Amino acid sequence: MEKERSITEQANIWLSGNFDDETKKEVRNLMSTNPTELTDSFYRDLEFGTGGLRGIMGVGTNRMNKYTVGMATQGLANYLQMMFPGLNPIKMAISHDSRNNSKYFAQIVAEVLSANGFCVFLFDDLRPTPELSFAIRHLGCQSGVMVTASHNPKEYNGYKAYWDDGAQMIAPHDENVIKEVQKIISIDEVKWTGVPENIISIGSEIDKLYLDQIAALSLSPDIIRRQKNLRIVYTPLHGCGRKLVPDILARFGFENIHMVKEQAIADGNFPTVHSPNPEEHDALDMAIKLAQEIHADLVMATDPDADRVGIAVRNHKNEMILLNGNQTAALLFYYILNRWKGKGYLKGNEFIVSTIVTTRLLAEIAAAHGVEYFDCLTGFKFIADVIRQHEGTRKFIVGGEESYGYLIGDFVRDKDAISACAMIAETAAWMADKGKSLFDLLMEIYVQYGLFKEGLISVTRKGKSGAEEIQQMMVDFRNTPPLFINNSRVVKIKDYLSLVETVVATGQEKTIDLPKSNVLQFILEDGSIISVRPSGTEPKIKFYFGVREPLISLDDFERTEKHLDNKIASIIASMKLK
């Protein structure tokens, strides 16, 4: 009853406070007709996490709405005023994706910030996340906000908060912003009345500058001129990529681009897909169907805020098959480093970056080209942090992670599907100029470096007991780590919480030079890598598996791939994860 009274009290605050009439009507409706929804809407405050804000849209303290967005923005404004006390005005850039209410929330953010005396650069229409990152850097802003819930279902919205280098916030700023947001306990603390003269509309002029930078990345313009009719199918999945991806492909010189018309309409209901997530096979069904009809060479799909891209290529059986994020990264990294080397661009101080759960194939490709490889924690903000650390002393070429995010060049500091689409298409043209395909290139990479195969499973438990069970799993893995997994000896353990790497046989230890994170890695004698990473916000734990084996010839690909698939299944079984 105490919990029920608490929820009722919270709802009554919304009924008696300075909330608009429509909001109060919705609260009253929940109170009289839907107690379950009322509970979910008010049982807690929507959490402003290290990545920003994300939640289901609706009324209540645990929902994305005008008031939770405004309170979070006021907390962000307060922190920025603390960090830049002598700066007047503090500058912010704001963009939004195609989700329902995204434009409305972006306007709320702009009004609150302008009311705090900030100079706000507000995009005139939906724009991709990477363009916001570019705008922050180009306009000399101290921060930025992208209103998006990425690839979440249509019921969700959110926003990502950025720092002055165009990257999402990391420690200490992320945690300090959270503290300031938590201090805002009433909507009456928010400065709601926007100052129009403090809000500057931006749009096509930033588009041009951003696309100019991407166009300068091209390494094979002569090849594209010969392969300009490469058949490309593209779908923005009802999101932000619908204009800039076709524009940059045309700028690169591609003339045979086919958009999935039904998915080229910006629509926050995402009516043609179950989920607007390019990691999910179903999201590319319509694009692949079109590709089969027109005999396309390449399919690309971007998510609603156009920071991630999934692709499909034609295999040796003339089938369009989906590649995973690791495979696409391998193609991109190999092409870019190969061309940099061939053009004499490599001077010895270049580097690439990827995450600890992404394929080790990228490190092998870097080593073969004499380019330094850096590991970082999962999340693109950590890739951006590595770039920041080496700015001015080393040259960043390319970065990427297994979850379909890639970055070429350093004028953006978040994953960028616009530039990635252009460079993936250029890679396809490079191979077409040799009479080959992207699938051929992938096979050549596997023959040269070995066949790398990755797997991922998520183990979810329910409620408080589930969270405790997952916490105990990590304790057990640390206190009594396995000596063997799938009959292969564990030779090394990396604990990213204690930042200690241990050689099991000798007990020899060395320090891991990364921020702390609750992740464990087990490296096996046969080269397999198992990474264990619990969620920080829900009772879920992820297991990443990386296995490898030499590929003697293309004829041996299917047998070797099946063997590695079976090996991942055996590892999962030996760890009793299913």
Examine the residue annotation and report whether 531 is marked as an active-site residue of this protein. no
Mean pLDDT across 324-352: 98
Where does residue 90 rank: exposed (0-12), middle (13-18), buried (19+ CB within 10 A)?
Answer: buried
Q: What are 247-300's pLDDT values in tens digits?
A: 999 999 999 999 999 999 999 999 999 999 999 999 999 999 999 999 999 999
Query: How do 451-460 and 540-549 pair as beta strands?
Result: antiparallel
Start-end of H helices in 402-459: 417-432, 438-449
Q: Where are the extended beta strands (E) located within 185-242?
A: 199-202, 232-235
Q: Does 489 score more than 80 pLDDT?
A: yes
* Half-sphere exposure for 275 (CA within 13 Å, toward CB): 12
| CB distance 376 to 355 below 8 Å | yes
Mean pLDDT across 475-487: 96
pLDDT at 6: 86
Query: DSSP label at 301?
Result: E
* Half-sphere exposure for 469 (CA within 13 Å, toward CB): 12
**114, 143, 150, 354: which one is catalytic?**
150
Mean pLDDT across 317-329: 97
Q: What are 359-393's pLDDT values in tens digits?
A: 999 999 999 999 999 999 999 999 999 999 999 99
Q: What are 36-88's pLDDT values in tens digits?
A: 999 999 998 998 887 889 999 999 999 999 999 999 999 999 999 999 999 99
pLDDT at 537: 64
Mean pLDDT across 203-211: 98
pLDDT at 5: 54
Terminal CA-CA length for the chain: 39
Confidence of residue 161 (pLDDT cuts 50, 70, 90): very high
Q: Does 1 score more than 50 pLDDT?
A: no
Mean pLDDT across 121-135: 98
Q: Which uninterrupted H or E stretch holds 49? A: strand 48-49
C-alpha 361: how far from chain center: 20
Q: Give 93 or 537, the one with higher predicted confidence.
A: 93
Domains annotated for the chain, with CATH where assigned, are 44-202 (3.40.120.10), 215-434 (3.40.120.10), 451-574 (3.30.310)
Please state the three-class secondary structure of 120-176 as a single string: EEEECCCCCHHHHHHHHHHCCCCEEEEECCCCCCCCEEEEEEECCCCCECCCCHHHH
Which residues are CB-contacts of 252 (< 8 A; sequence separation ≥ 6)? 215, 218, 221, 224, 422, 425, 426
Mean pLDDT across 451-478: 90
The helices-and-strands tally (H runs, E runs) of the chain is 18, 24
CA distance 256 to 311: 17
User: Taking all residues of the chain, what is their mean pLDDT, rounded to a whole number?
Assistant: 96
- Whole-model pTM? 0.96
Q: Does 316 score more than 80 pLDDT?
A: yes
> What pairs with residue 453 in β-bridges?
547
Q: Does 2 score more than 50 pLDDT?
A: no
Mean pLDDT across 139-155: 95
Q: Which uninterrupted H or E stretch holds 466? A: helix 463-479
C-alpha 145: how far from chain center: 15
Mean pLDDT across 477-499: 97
Q: What are 520-544's pLDDT values in tens digits?
A: 999 999 999 999 999 876 778 999 9
| CB distance 30 to 37 below 8 Å | yes
The tokens describing 424, both together, are: 């993936």
pLDDT at 3: 47
Length of the chain: 578
